[in-house]
Amino acid sequence: MAWVMVMIVADQYTKYWVMSQLPLGHVYPVFEGLNWVHAHNRGIALSLFSDASQGWLNLLTALSCAVIIALSLALRCLRATQYRLCAVIVLLLGGAIGNLIDRIRWGYVIDWIDVYWRHWHFPAFNLADAAITLGALIVLCLPHQDLALWMKASQNK
């Protein structure tokens, strides 16, 4: 759980820096292909559902809480030797909690990383989004045996 806390603190600190240093909507060029921005995202990853009603957003927040509980329980079921699965859950859990803190505190998530190519911009994101995405990609690449062990450990606890 210590690594989850590191992930949450890093995410929240970077968002604090953005809020204190960049006015909303401001773009700070870092180098070709990367800007720091200050954006508010009321939706989920990649700004999906940003125009959804408050009822749907509340449902998404409740779903996030359920996922956080499930991931926390899964992390407790794993042995320390299952480092790949532990790393995945740390990334997913830290990212989910980081964005949930924003949603509860502000009613939106603070996004600040703007990756682009020429005139095409990927939707702005933050460290929590990056952690969730990386964790999901790792799950897709995990050997089937790792996932089977995780499922078996979850059923035995």
| Active site residues per annotation | 111, 129
- Asked if 34 contacts 154 with a C-beta cutoff of 8 angstroms, the reply is no
Taken in order 17, 135, 89, 109, the sign of the CA dihedral is positive
Rounded CA separation 118/115 (Å): 10
Report residue 69 as tokens: 């509980």
Maximum separation of any 2 CA atoms in the chain, in Å: 52
Which residues are bridge partners to 109 per DSSP? 41
Residue 15: name the closest of 92, 131, 128 by CA.
128
